[in-house]
Structure 1
Amino acid sequence: MLKQVLEIEELLDARFITGFKVKQFFAKFSFIKVGVSTVKGVKGSTDFVRIVVPGTHGKSNGGQAPTLGVIGRLGGIGARPSRIGIVSDSDGAVAALSLAYKLSVMHEKGDVLAGDVIIATHICPDAPTQPHQPVDFMDSPVTMYQMNQYEISTEMDAVLTIDTTKGNQIINHKGVSISPTVKEGYILKVSYDLIRLAEVVTGKLASTFPITMQDITPYGNGLYHLNSILQPAVATKAPVVGVAITTVSMVPGCSTGASHEPDIADAANFSLEVAKEFTAQKISFYDQAEFKQIVKLYGPMNKLQTFGNEKVTD
């Protein structure tokens, strides 16, 4: 996967990169579908990229195999003109697009997954920054609501969301860390299937990170969030797991020279192994019987996917 990461990072590390240039990069793979949508916000614009890599028994081919969604979550890949070059926050986009690249190469060589994989991210080389404790965040030219509109789709039966998660005092591990599964407002136990795959891919004991109820509520409600890694969970009924690319020290998302390619490759490779086994129905993101029981006992928690009692818009 490292080869794909290096090529994608080199492609994105450009002042004039656009989603349409990313689409052109993937044009050599005629069997995948790549869509680009330019969306304007009050702070600029960005290009959302959506790639569908079909499976042998995937829904796009009329089959019934589950579909995995992989979101490259970020504010922007660059903070120009205040920063020159690709920023730490770009890691999610690099990992997701590297996965799409690897899946396409595998497909070309005859190794096709059972189900579809939908990869979505956005390309913005000149995103703004915003104050945040303990370090500044990358901001985005569009709202979180718009991101979820273009990155989440109903076809996704489970979602991995890859995000740089370095600017905090919660995680002090360098590499890749995974979150508990989030579904419809419930923070569920960490999937042991995903722990196993993380350990296989990294060759180390799996790292997991804690999340709070605040983290799974929508941005814009005035509550503190670790970062945006679990924001896709507010826009889907599918189970969502965060794949955090992490460091020991605190690194601002707007820092340049802060991307560690082997860690990005681990995140992408982990997502690949999850895609193989999930679309073949060999693993699960959560215990369905236990989820049914917790809802029976305590009722639905999907109010946490909304702004609650406040009339707030993102």
Structure 2
Amino acid sequence: MIVKEILDIYEILDSAYVNGEKVADYLRSIGGNCEISVSKLEGKGGKSTDVIKVMIPGSNGKSKGGSAPTIGLLGRLGGLGARPERIGFVSDGDGALTVLAAAAKLLKMQREGDLLEGDVLVSTHVCPDAPTLPHKPVSFMNSPVSMQQMNQSEVDGSVDAILSVDTTKGNRIMNHKGFSISPTVKDGYILKVSEDLLGIMEITTGQAPKVFALSMQDITPYGNDLYHLNSILQPSTATDVPVVGVAITTETTVPGCATGATNLMSIDEAGRFVLEVAKEYTKGTCGFYDQEEYQRIQKLYGSMSHLRTFGNKKE
């Protein structure tokens, strides 16, 4: 379990004064071998956020000259808080909480002699006072910076696959408490759901796996005036590696700016899932997609990479 790590990270993030360096100091205090960087992103209107990246090397990772694949664990969110409009940690912060707790657990594992084979890159951002955004059926959290800025900062070119973890409660598509995964998205294609990921989900939850539906709109960039479920698959617009969304869910529609909505057990389930995927993916025993079938679909129907762009501007 990663309950202790979740509680420790939550106590740091649930503050009007939190910033990236405070999170980095906690992770460094755990010990172990890692590289942690914090950079500030400036948005319009004087708003900003701290992007934090944690590189945890594997025993045969590329950072050491090895050949094991690298996985990215990306915490997607608008902000951790909506101050001064709302006081406290908002539902939208669950993605950051999940991946940072996973990073803490990986560092503790490393300290105790349990190294993954490949590198793990954990990335998210820390903002306690993000704006809100009107959205139906419930309000979203907005971001202090643009989606293009976030993708450029969070989506690292060194990773071979990405799990994008995001609160996804403000909808009527998912109606259970826990988490769901998406089909694999790669370079504009929505591919079939990974059987390997379904198997890991069954093991970590002890229940039948849950998969959420995607539309073509969901894998196009923000800013094109099309509907998006939320930003969970936005990383797929900035890379051609396979991306799978890990959506933290509820039975009811919950606004992203709601406080008091974070569920410890849901975060623990999602966190254990991403850890187990990281273990299996980096040692080559978990695939995000069927490579032969992907090559065939491209041969039959061509590239879909234009869906990662803003498309035809001549309207």
> TM-score, with normalisation over the residues of structure 1?
0.98
Aligned to 1:89: 92
Which of 26, 33, 36 is matched with 2:35 structurally?
33
Q: What are the equivalent positions in structure 2 for 1:70-81 lying under 5 Å apart?
A: 70-81=73-84
Q: Among all aligned residue pairs of Structure 1 and Structure 2, give the percentage whose two residues are the same amino acid.
A: 56
Change (3 A) 1:56 1:219: same
Aligned partners of 2:178 and 2:110: how far apart in 1?
28
Aligned partners of 1:202 and 1:87: how far apart in 2?
24
Change (3 A) 1:167 1:61: same
Q: Does 1:184 align with 2:187?
A: yes
User: Which residue identity does 1:233 align to in structure 2?
Assistant: S
Q: Does 1:243 align with 2:246?
A: yes
Can you list the C-alpha shifts for 1:105-133, whole angstroms capped at 9, x where unaligned?
A: 00000000000000000000000001001
Which of 135, 138, 143 is matched with 1:140 structurally?
143
Q: CA deviation at 1:26?
A: 1.4
Aligned partners of 2:256 and 2:217: how far apart in 1?
20
Q: CA deviation at 1:3?
A: 1.1
Change (3 A) 1:277 1:30: closer
Q: Does 1:223 align with 2:226?
A: yes
Q: CA deviation at 1:30?
A: 4.8
Count residues with an aligned counterpart: 312
Aligned to 1:8: 9
Aligned partners of 2:62 and 2:314: how far apart in 1?
37
**SS state at 1:266 partner:** helix
Q: CA deviation at 1:27?
A: 1.7
Aligned to 1:50: 53
**SS state at 2:204 partner:** helix
Aligned partners of 2:236 and 2:166: how far apart in 1?
14
Aligned to 2:197: 194
Aligned to 1:299: 302
User: Which residue identity does 1:32 align to in structure 2?
Assistant: C
Aligned partners of 1:241 and 1:301: how far apart in 2?
17
Which runs of no fewer than 5 residues in structure 2 stay unpaired?
Answer: none
Kept in 1: contact 2:179–2:210 (CA 8 A): yes
> TM-score, with normalisation over the residues of structure 2?
0.98
**SS state at 2:108 partner:** helix
